[in-house]
Amino acid sequence: MPPRAYNVTAYYENHGLSLRVSRTWAKAFIASGFNQNGIPLAAIYSDNYGQWDFAGYVDLAKVMGNDRLPQLTLDVQNITKEKQRSYFQFPNATFSRFDPGRLVMIGLRGHF
């Protein structure tokens, strides 16, 4: 577990519009115990990691005053395309690298 981590979220919701921006961050930490891969006193460490996310929707029914209209949604995860990395005992010995990229989801919500 990281020694320090935080999540901060800002919301706006009014008149059929909803917006949420969030930031998560975790300080570097030891990801495994010692004696990794048969090397005494060697451990796997994780780098600092943080990412920005966004979620929002426009409720067209409220905006246009028509109960039959849908909601348009937009969700974006890892806006800045942050990468996750761990290393084996020394910072220049990368153990794993994960590059999830940015995920963008656009949606339409309605009711019958």
Question: What pLDDT is attached to residue 36?
Answer: 74
Instruction: Concatenate the DSSP letters of all residues of 11-31 into one string.
Output: EEEETTEEEEEEEEEE--EE-
What strands, in cross-sheet order, belong to the sheet with 44-46?
29-30, 44-46, 84-88, 94-98
- pTM of the prediction? 0.82
Span between the terminal Cα atoms of the chain, in Å? 46
In 3D space, the residue among 77, 85, 81, 83 whose CA is nearest the CA of residue 103 turns out to be 77
Total number of domains constituting the chain:
1
Residue 69: strand, helix, or coil? coil
What per-residue confidence (pLDDT) applies to 42?
84
Low-confidence ranges of the chain (pLDDT < 50): none
pLDDT on residue 40 = 80
Could you tell me the residue range of the domain that residue 39 belongs to?
5-109
CB 7 within 8 A of CB 23: yes
